[in-house]
Amino acid sequence: MSACVEQQRVGCAIGGIYTALAIDRVMPILHSGPGCQDNAGRVVAGVNGGQSMGPISESIIPCTDFCEADVIFGGEGKLKKLIEKSIEYLDSDLFLVVDGCTAEIVGDDIEDVTRSFQGGSVPVIYSRLPGFKGNNLWGHSQVLQSIIEQYLTPSSKRTPRLVNVWGIVPYYDTMWAATLEKVAALLRELGLEPNIIYGQGSGVARLSRIPEAEFNLLLSPWVDLDVVQLLREKFGIPYFHYPVVPIGPTETTRFIRALADYAGLDKENAEAVIAREEERYYYYIQRHLRWLYACKALPKEFYINSSASAALALTRYLVNDLGLLPVKIYIVDNVPDQHQAQVREYFQDLELEIKDFEVVFTSDGGLMGAELKDKALVNPVSILGTAWDQLLATKRKITFVSVSAPYGDTLVGNKTYFGYDGAISLFADFYSDMVTKGTGSV
């Protein structure tokens, strides 16, 4: 064998349970092997900014611990008893039963088991998440589709200005919690009422409001596109697709104006928000210009090795606001074939005359490292990627910023690169590492 795939940047499909865990008072019940959750949770949470499901450990998630006896005799009886005891002892508003590879292979019917709990004191739904069908992003989609199909009901009203927000994947998108907080704050300033189902203050009550929204807002190149299309089909809710989580003044201003046009928002208020935030952004950037001018060799070119969503957002900021040049973009989150052409097209929407950089879709997270390990670098470059890439950057003294899963052991806290303020943080992280590595020392 001449080559192998290494440094995986996605988790198993059962990692989709972290989407459920991000919704307050929703509890997964696993019909899988005892190590499945722990394995899936490493890249999604544990080594992705030190995240966990809350003040308690994921080890309390109910699990049937599928074993050899269950392979032979089936585990449906054990699952039914586990659901009964979970309802009895765990204080939750919604239970989501998921299975793994082994239960799917032997044919255990979790749909039939959950059906026996219909009409009970607490809703119980199911989602099939065998790892042989997809990664954690596929699992994320399956969980949301299960909630839409099995839990949500049509609303008799449409609430003006209420907007559901999609496209940011909890836990997997490392800075998801703070990013959603900032998105919500911006939407409120623009005159909208955000309905965000993940993070602090979320919960089943917000799930129930999804069908009454005026529209859905999708912030990603491809993730959750199937979700907003399903919501349009099932509940008649239109969606506004902005393919990037905006970072920096150019993209955030563009986003605000596009959203204001789509939703019929107060243009005068939108422009006032833009003017105030742009002035603040440039104030903080200008405070560092003298320091930057004193640097010996600023990196002008960059490589990115991350998810499509992070790569697109970062590329637009680095090019449009910092004037840097992309060399090669490695997309490592297994973008489905039917979306790759469109994602590639999004990377052409840059304020750049010559767009001769490469965009590569690969499942091999180690491809960039293999190509750069011994490559002669004529000009100073930078890398934006994951904890895997930090080893290469340190060895070759390349400016590095971790931006995607697995983020590493550094605690993410409430960090976000979203919007105007987030871009200031990214600017500081980027150029601070440059000096730490000695690539642009003052």
CATH code at 138?
3.40.50.1980
Cβ 340 vs Cβ 420: under 8 Å? no
- Whole-number pLDDT of residue 435: 77
Same domain membership, residue 300 and residue 201: no
Same domain for 146 and 194, yes or no, is no
Question: Do 418 and 267 meet the contact criterion of CB atoms below 8 Å apart?
Answer: no
pLDDT at 102 > cutoff 60:
yes
In a domain, 3, yes or no: no
Residue 6 lies in a domain: no
Statement to judge: residues 405 and 347 lie in one domain: yes
Tens of pLDDT, residue by residue over 119-167, are 999 999 999 999 999 999 999 999 999 999 999 999 999 999 999 999 9
Q: Assess whether pLDDT exceeds 70 at residue 61.
A: yes
Domain that holds residue 319: 288-437
As given in the structure block, the two tokens for residue 24 are: 């307050």
Residue 399 placed within a domain: yes
Q: What is the mean pLDDT of residues 170-182?
A: 97
Mean pLDDT of all residues in 175-182? 98
Encode pLDDT of 340-379 as tens digits: 999 999 999 999 999 999 999 999 999 999 999 989 988 8
Query: Considering the domain boundaries, does residue 77 fall inside one?
Result: yes
Question: In terms of domains, do 138 and 169 share one?
Answer: no
Q: What pLDDT does residue 292 have?
A: 87
End-to-end CA distance of the chain: 47
* pLDDT tens by residue, 377-388: 888 999 999 999
Higher pLDDT, 439 or 191: 191
pLDDT tens column, 382-409: 999 999 999 999 999 999 999 999 999 8
Q: Based on the fold, state whether residues 194 and 259 are members of the same structural domain.
A: yes
Query: Which has the closest alpha carbon to 58: 95, 83, 30?
Result: 30
pLDDT of residue 88 exceeding 50:
yes
Q: How far is CA 291 from CA 7, 329, 432, in A?
A: 36, 29, 11
Identify whether 89 is part of a domain: yes
Question: Is the distance from CB of 225 to CB of 218 less than 8 angstroms?
Answer: yes
- Distance between CA atoms of 246 and 265, rounded to whole angstroms? 19
**How many domains is the chain built from?**
3
pLDDT at 8: 81
Q: Are 332 and 221 found together in one domain?
A: no
80 and 135 both lie in a single domain: yes
| Residue 103: other Cβ atoms inside 10 A | 28
Residue with tokens 């690539």: 439
Confidence of residue 438 (pLDDT cuts 50, 70, 90): low
Structural domain includes residue 4: no
More confident residue, 9 or 216: 216
The mean pLDDT value for 31-57 works out to 83
8 Å CB contact between 27 and 90: yes
Q: Per the omega criterion (within 30 degrees of 0), is the bond before 62 cis? A: no
pLDDT at residue 1, as a whole number: 40
pLDDT surpassing 80 at residue 4: no
7 assigned to some structural domain: no
Last residue of a domain, one of 101, 126, 150: 150
Task: State yes or no: pLDDT of 64 exceeds 90.
Answer: yes
Is the distance from CB of 399 to CB of 379 less than 8 angstroms? no
How far apart (Å, rounded) are the C-alpha atoms in residues 145 and 231?
A: 9
Residue 88 tokens read as: 């009895």
Predicted local confidence at residue 198, as pLDDT: 97
pLDDT digits (tens, 9 = 90+) for 257-276: 999 999 999 999 999 999 99
- The answer to whether residues 197 and 228 belong to one domain is yes
Q: Do 299 and 410 belong together in one domain? A: yes
Domain final residue pick, 281, 314, 342: 281
* Domain final residue pick, 216, 246, 281: 281
Residue 74 has pLDDT above 90, yes or no: no
Main-chain dihedrals φ then ψ at residue 430, nearest 5 degrees: -65, -55
Each residue's pLDDT tens digit, 187-225? 999 999 999 999 998 889 999 999 999 999 999 999 999
**Residues 319, 258 share a domain:** no
